[in-house]
């Protein structure tokens, strides 16, 4: 039961952070976003994306198989969900900081 409450506290903290970052991003887009930026960002190659996508599919398939084989694998799902949500929050923060750094470079 202790693990449940630890996961609940972590989940609530990640949810609050995710909503806060989402609101900041929405406000940024509502204010015009990066409309004035003329920099073109190259997309990564199809091969790199395909490898990442295939890795995600294999990892998901492995988790589903493990859940069918052992009941202990069910404990893996909440941890993976919390990790995925934390990664999204981190991506929001990194994007905002890089956007601020680019804006500072343009001003200088």
pTM of the model as a whole: 0.69
| Domain hosting residue 100, numbered range | 2-31+46-107
| Vertex 89: Cα angle to 86 and 91 (nearest 5) | 110
The reply to whether 38 falls in a domain is: no
The reply to whether 41 falls in a domain is: no
The reply to whether 37 falls in a domain is: no
Of 17-26, 38-47, 76-85, the least confident: 38-47
Q: What is the pLDDT of residue 38?
A: 65
Domain count, the chain: 1
In this predicted structure, the answer to whether residue 42 has a pLDDT above a threshold of 80 is no
The reply to whether 93 falls in a domain is: yes
In this predicted structure, the answer to whether residue 86 has a pLDDT above a threshold of 70 is yes
């Amino acid at each position: 039961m202790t693990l449940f409450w630890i996961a609940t506290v972590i989940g609530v903290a990640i949810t609050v952070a995710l909503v806060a970052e989402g609101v900041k991003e929405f406000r940024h887009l509502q204010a015009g976003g990066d409309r004035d930026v003329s920099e073109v960002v190259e997309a990564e190659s199809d091969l790199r994306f395909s490898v990442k996508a295939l890795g995600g599919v294999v990892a998901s398939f492995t988790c589903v198989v493990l859940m069918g084989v052992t009941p202990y694998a069910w404990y893996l799902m909440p941890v993976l969900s919390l990790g995925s949500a934390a990664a999204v929050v981190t991506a929001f923060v990194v994007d905002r900081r890089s956007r601020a750094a680019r804006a500072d470079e343009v001003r200088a």
